[in-house]
Structure formats: C-alpha cells, structure tokens
C-alpha cells in the first residue's frame, strides 16, 4: 500500500545567499533592499524559492545569476534554518549558501533589487534570521580559508603579496607580521611570480602573483596540507 503524502503538511523551501566580496582592504557583503512586505525597505540577503524542477544548488546559482549576472562562482551550502516563526507570512524553511565574488569581475548588478555592497563590519541590521546566517557564514569562511585556498576566489587573477595579506587580515579580522606571513605563503609553494609589477603602491613596485591551481591539486593528491 502506497503512503498518501497528501495527508502531511507542506512547507515552502527557499534559498538565501550570503555574498562576500573583497575590495582590496575590506571584506564586503552584498545586500538587497526589500521592495515588498513584510519588512519593506529593510536590508536582507538575496534569496528566492526553490522551484519544482530544480535542486537547492540550482536555485542558489539561479538567484546569484539573477542578481550579479555571474556564473560558475564559488558557492557552498552552509546550513538549513527551520525555526517555526522565522518568517511571519508562512512556514518557510531556508537553505543558506555563501558565495565568493571577485569584485573586479564584470559584475552587472540587477537594478531591480536595489543591491549594495557594505563593509562586513559596518553592515545594517538584517531581517528575520539573516544576521545569524551571516555569522554562520563568516565562521565557515574562516575555517575554509585556514585549510583551503578559497581566499583566491576573492582576488583578481594577478595580485600582490600585500593584497593577499590584506585579504586574510580582513577575513580573520586581525593583523599579521608581513615577514612571517610572506614566509608562510612562500612555504606553501602554490603561487607563481609573474615577474610583472604593480607600480601603484610605490616607485619600486610590488611583484604580481597568480595562484597555480594545477600545481596545488597535484600537491593535494600527494598528501599536501594547505594551512595558513
């Protein structure tokens, strides 16, 4: 005898995206201003409902593409939020994702959503449980950045050692000694010096590096541990 699922309650399922960027100095978060009730005019994460014919991963990618025009960006499922009263209009369960975006990419922000980049530390208060989602995403980002090279997703293809140090200082909200940081990064042996220089910071200039993903993957297959 087949189970009659019509007798069970039905709930809405949504995705919410915590979108991080880096401007060279500060870790940023992309937020949207709601244009509908409830909480019209307040700031929130970008989200949407999961359609009948898509997975939550597909929904999150669609939501991100709708807002930024970008595809194939770093996106990781974070957590599921199911508190009964998390939204006042209906029983909505949300699956959160965090994304890492290089702000210098050609991002075409959809004007429909009145989106704006904020410094992570100076962001406005968010609706519903979105503040908790951001807090969880920051903790996950820090764990990942310690053991995986995901920080490079936030940088342009070519970057200086100072750019990289600024990024990690922004992610972990602490300062590092320049010599020790450079020594630790060089010991990982996953960067390539392009022999090009960024001349904007000084007359002497700073060498530009790229992350060598193929070499990193080979080292991982041989038992290498990425650790900052």
Kind and range of the H or E element at 213? helix 213-221
Q: Is the confidence at residue 2, as pLDDT, over 80? A: no
42-53 pLDDT per residue, tens:
999 999 999 999
CA-CA distance, 31 to 119, in Å (whole number)? 11
Q: Is the confidence at residue 1, as pLDDT, over 70? A: no
Q: Where are the beta strands (DSSP E) in the chain?
A: 12-22, 27-33, 43-44, 46-49, 74-81, 92-101, 115-119, 191-198, 206-211
Average pLDDT, the chain: 93
In this structure, whether the domain defined by 155-221 belongs to CATH 1.10.10.10 is answered with yes
Better-predicted residue by pLDDT, 228 or 160: 160
**85 alpha-carbon distance from chain centroid:** 27
Better-predicted residue by pLDDT, 152 or 7: 152
CA-CA distance, 81 to 144, in Å (whole number)? 21
Q: Is the confidence at residue 175, as pLDDT, over 80? A: yes
pLDDT, mean of residues 191-213: 90
End-to-end CA separation in angstroms for the chain:
56
pLDDT, mean of residues 120-144: 97
CATH T-level topology, domain 9-147: Nucleoside Triphosphate Pyrophosphohydrolase (3.90.79)
Kind and range of the H or E element at 183? helix 178-188
- Where residue 25 falls among pLDDT bands split at 50, 70, 90? very high
Query: Do the beta carbons of residue 192 and residue 212 sit within 8 Å?
Result: yes
- Where residue 61 falls among pLDDT bands split at 50, 70, 90? very high
Q: How many CB atoms lie within 10 A of CB 162?
A: 15
Task: Return all residues near 92 (Cβ < 8 A) that are at least 6 apart.
Answer: 11, 12, 13, 14, 86
159-172 pLDDT per residue, tens:
999 999 999 999 99
- The domain ranges of the chain are 9-147, 155-221
83-110 pLDDT per residue, tens:
999 999 999 999 999 999 998 877 889 9
Beta partners for residue 30, in sequence order: 19, 117
- Where residue 224 falls among pLDDT bands split at 50, 70, 90? confident
- From 110, 208, 102, 118, select the one nearest 155 (Cα to Cα): 102
């Amino acid at each position: 005898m087949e189970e009659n699922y019509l007798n069970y309650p039905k709930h809405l399922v949504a995705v919410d995206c915590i979108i991080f960027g880096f401007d060279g100095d500060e870790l940023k978060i992309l937020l949207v201003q709601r244009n509908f009730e409830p909480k019209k005019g307040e700031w929130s994460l970008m989200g949407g409902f999961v359609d009948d014919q898509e997975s939550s991963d597909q929904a999150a990618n669609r939501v991100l593409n709708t807002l930024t025009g970008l595809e194939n960006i770093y996106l990781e499922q974070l957590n599921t939020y199911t508190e009964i009263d998390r939204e006042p209009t209906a029983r909505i369960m949300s699956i959160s994702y965090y994304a890492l975006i290089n702000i210098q990419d050609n991002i075409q922000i959809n004007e429909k959503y009145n989106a704006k980049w904020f410094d992570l530390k100076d962001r406005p208060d968010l609706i519903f449980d979105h503040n908790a989602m951001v807090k969880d995403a920051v903790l996950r980002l820090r764990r990942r950045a310690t053991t995986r090279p995901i920080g490079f997703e936030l940088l342009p293809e070519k970057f200086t050692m100072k750019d990289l140090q600024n990024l990690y200082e922004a992610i972990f909200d602490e300062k590092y000694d320049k010599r020790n940081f450079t020594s630790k990064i060089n010991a990982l042996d996953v960067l390539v010096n392009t022999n090009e220089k960024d001349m904007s910071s000084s007359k002497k200039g700073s060498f530009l590096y790229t992350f060598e993903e193929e070499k990193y993957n080979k080292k991982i297959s041989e038992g290498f541990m990425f650790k900052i």
